[in-house]
Structure 1
């Protein structure tokens, strides 16, 4: 390989790296100016799913899109509200991104048609109230509500129908100006819980005991307003006992002499927490057993249906084979050509008309 070719490869590699960096960071540079700006939604395939990308178009409503979309990215627009009819034409959506709009109102049944929705991102809006039906979606696993500074005005009085049926695994409530955590009831599937950058004035271990699958919680910049450090002791102790990873920007208060001298949880408090935890585990086991039974039933049903299809196909093939075998001798007889005139006459049926019979 000559030097010129090597230099060309290096230049091409640098251009590719630069383009990738600009795409990932959405930077605005001279290279970005050369590419045309999107003026309307585009339909693309990603991760074997069909999606629509409408990001950054400053749209005030969702335009007409293909009803088969499974991903909708409507970030960085000017959407103000979600009505009950907003998503009725898109029942297959699994991933919905509404980041950085101007959402303040969401109709109670806005998300009801989205029974397959797995991820919902409502970050960076001004949402005043959350619809209860959102927490009953049967497939919702990831819910992002961060940077909704007005959410605290109503979330403390949120009366949710419990238990929450949505199998939430990730819940992000960071920077929502919450002083008190909402009563979610039992969340047996929750694994990651982000409540960072909230001015919490209290934090209760009972709140986390109902999250029996919790593995990671982020409380960075959220416990600074809790003056009595001993109020943190039961919750921190619960995290340690249940091997819950905790993200905290400053561990000085937890390593202080004052914190170490705080009284530990009483036996009664521990019994109450364990009871809540066991109830959560029971709900998780029930859900898991139901899911396993349903999956087993679907496998058995699918296997039986496959067997019946194969059996019917086999019967059809045998039927066609028998018909073909029956037709073959007749076709061979038709195709036989007599070698001489005598043979041809011998093949004719001997039929006497009525006049010949009368002569006899």
Structure 2
């Protein structure tokens, strides 16, 4: 027992000396590495209070999770324009200055989950390559997106807004590429089936542990079945309601003008991709043909120049005057040739 108290006293004294600065703590730094040929910098759990500005500017995967960052400033990522994957989960982020994410035009995925955000930074939806957005476990109770510029430019494919105390799904306008939406652990008391008309490519929606009404549950399930999507993560409807009590408003979802516009956007994007691919192939073929023609012309020109140089090197021959005297030399006498001298 006495040994136990001595050990405890020693630990307390050691911690006191360390906190007073008499014992230096081992300095922890960001680590560098590669992940699938991308430069990764991991600054995980370093008690950082802001985004470090002394990292390699060519970083493509930046992990700043599990730190103490409270505010993101407009210049936080200005030097790191090559970032493709950004992890900021489990910090204390309460606010984001306008223009913070604007330089990240290569960003494909960002994780802002488990912070204190009360709104989604609107500029994220205008990033040209952002596919995956995690912003779950934030304080998005009264989400205000009235200033959101529509149509959204970001080609979002996955959106996680779980556990944010949302009363309804946020209206982000038409998202033609979004195929998975996680809105679980939200009350969704004001949920309206009309919001799903914006998501014509939806395949998975997670509404587990939400407070959907029986009618809302039935409407979502029927909507997904009409799309050929899986209702696996939709709360089980305890009873089938009569159509008079719970109408199936397909005219407000899959038969709506919004849904048709979403599908048109998808078709236009596919057509544009097809023509861009065709133009690329045609341009590639033309380039190859031009290279071949250039090589053929160049080779012919080289051969012609080589022949001309060979001809210029030869010594010219002239007929000897002996052969021209009276033109009477015997037929079997050989002709005389003089070599011209320079």
* TM-score > 0.5 by shorter chain: yes
Bigger Rg, structure 1 or 2: 2
**Which is helix-richer, 1 or 2?**
1
Shift of 1:84: 2.5
The answer to whether 1:202 aligns with 2:190 is yes
**CA deviations over 1:79-108 (Å, ceiling 9, x no partner):** 222222222222222211111122122222
Alignment counterpart, residue 283 of structure 1, candidates 265, 275, 280: 265
Spell out the pairing of 1:7-26 with structure 2 (5 A cutoff): none
The answer to whether 1:166 aligns with 2:147 is no
Moved more, 93-102 or 134-143: 93-102
Alpha carbons of 1:43 and 1:212: their partners in 2 closer, same or farther (altered >3 Å)?
same
Spell out the pairing of 1:235-314 with structure 2 (5 A cutoff): 235-248=220-233, 251=236, 254-256=237-239, 259-261=240-242, 263=244, 266=247, 269-273=249-253, 274-275=255-256, 276-309=258-291, 311-312=293-294
Shift of 1:319: 5.5
Verify the 8 A CA contact 1:186 1:210 in the aligned structure 2. yes
Spell out the pairing of 1:140-179 with structure 2 (5 A cutoff): 140-148=130-138, 150-153=139-142, 155-179=143-167
1:216 is aligned to 204
Alpha carbons of 1:320 and 1:246: their partners in 2 closer, same or farther (altered >3 Å)?
same
Q: What are structure 1's unaligned runs of at least 5 residues? A: 1-36, 334-346, 351-360
State how many pairs are aligned. Answer: 292
The answer to whether 1:114 aligns with 2:119 is no
Q: What are structure 2's unaligned runs of at least 5 residues? A: 1-25, 316-338
CA distance in 2, matches of 1:63, 1:331: 69
Alignment counterpart, residue 86 of structure 1, candidates 64, 76, 93: 76
1:22 is aligned to none
Moved more, 177-186 or 64-73: 64-73
CA distance in 1, matches of 2:284, 2:45: 44
The answer to whether 1:39 aligns with 2:28 is yes
The answer to whether 1:72 aligns with 2:52 is no
Q: Note the aligned Cα RMSD (angstroms).
A: 3.0
- SS in structure 1 of the partner of residue 231 of structure 2: strand
Alpha carbons of 1:325 and 1:63: their partners in 2 closer, same or farther (altered >3 Å)?
farther
